[in-house]
Amino acid sequence: MLRFIYKKTLDFLPPYLRISLQYFRIFKQFPNLTKPTTINEKILKRILHEKDPNFAFYADKYAVRSYIAETLGGEYLVPLIAVYKDAKDIVTLNEWENIVIKPNHGAGMVKIIESEPDKYEKQLLVQLCEKWLSKDFSQVCDEWHYSLIPPMLVVERKITDPDENLRDYKFHRFLQSDGHFKQVLQVVAERSEHGYETVFFDINHLDEILHSPFGYQLTLSEMEKKAIKQILDLNEHLCVAYSYVRLDWYISRKKIYFGEITFTPGAGRSKSFAGQFGVEMGKLWEVQ
């Protein structure tokens, strides 16, 4: 009951206060939104003041495919099977084996399907997809640009082998005052219902972990290091006008694939950036 009252109270607050209270609930201190120093605080400032409508285009998991194809080439895109505006149309899908279904207008919503579901399972899938499509993701953490994305379901081919775990390679890219970019690599190695394991690497020292916020240990393979160097070059051509952006990729045994573009990672409330590491990452965001 108290949680319900808390959430309803937040709905009536202006974004500045709502964001500050949500931040306090996580970190037990209020963010400095006037003179931000940490990367979380700078992301929050962007949410409040940087109203660039192009954020919606780049964050749209379907629309951004055309940008990647034009800028880098279609070979970096995960194979697309279908796109639906109505959840009920998902049952007309012809290919069910080894697919991934997700909405284009948010995060944390994905369904991996290995084989064709039965009739009852398809009904449950429709209900899940309807829930996704009805969700205004901008209301979750005030990431306003998600409200500008027309909701759709994207069906893609699963890009890993049955015995292969998929890792996310998230490149935090910062524009420097001299016009060059600096990139920091974050690898999300394992996910579960309890959360995820992640580590950060200096791109010039991939043999050593730069920061492990939750104590996880990870050694990159030679194959990964080679692919990372290729991705670093590709990232130099994406969203070059922006002071900070996170560019996500997948590295499978066969090839590399583009993942997504994010301008407000963790909605400025990521525990991965807690403490001094968040301050150091904030220093890299020189241009604002």
If asked whether residues 178 and 245 sit together in one domain, one would say yes
Q: Are 211 and 199 in contact (CB under 8 A)?
A: yes
If asked whether residues 175 and 275 sit together in one domain, one would say yes
Domain ranges, residue 65: 31-77+163-288
**In 3D, which of 258, 262, 250, 257 has the Cα closest to residue 107?**
262
Q: Are 257 and 78 in contact (CB under 8 A)?
A: yes
Q: Which of 125, 157, 189 is the last residue of a domain?
A: 157
Q: Is residue 18 part of a domain?
A: no
**Per-residue exposure over 91-100, b if at least 16 CB sit within 10 Å of its own CB, e if not:** eebeeeeebb
If asked whether residues 60 and 43 sit together in one domain, one would say yes
Q: Are 108 and 181 in contact (CB under 8 A)?
A: no
Torsions phi, psi for 42 (to 5 deg): -70, -35
Domains in the chain: how many in total?
A: 2
Q: Which of 133, 157, 181 is the last residue of a domain?
A: 157
If asked whether residues 111 and 228 sit together in one domain, one would say no
* CATH code, domain carrying 113: 3.30.1490
Q: What is the pLDDT along the chain (288 residues), one digit of tens a residue?
A: 666 666 766 777 888 999 999 999 999 999 999 999 999 999 999 999 999 999 999 999 999 999 999 999 999 999 999 999 999 999 999 999 999 999 999 998 999 999 999 999 999 999 999 999 999 999 988 999 999 999 999 999 999 888 778 899 999 999 999 999 999 999 998 654 445 789 999 999 999 999 999 999 999 999 999 999 999 999 999 999 999 999 999 999 889 999 999 999 999 999 999 999 999 999 999 876
Express each pLDDT in 165-184 by its tens digit: 889 999 999 999 999 999 99
If asked whether residues 186 and 97 sit together in one domain, one would say no
**Per-residue exposure over 266-284, b if at least 16 CB sit within 10 Å of its own CB, e if not:** bbbbbebbeeebbeebbeb
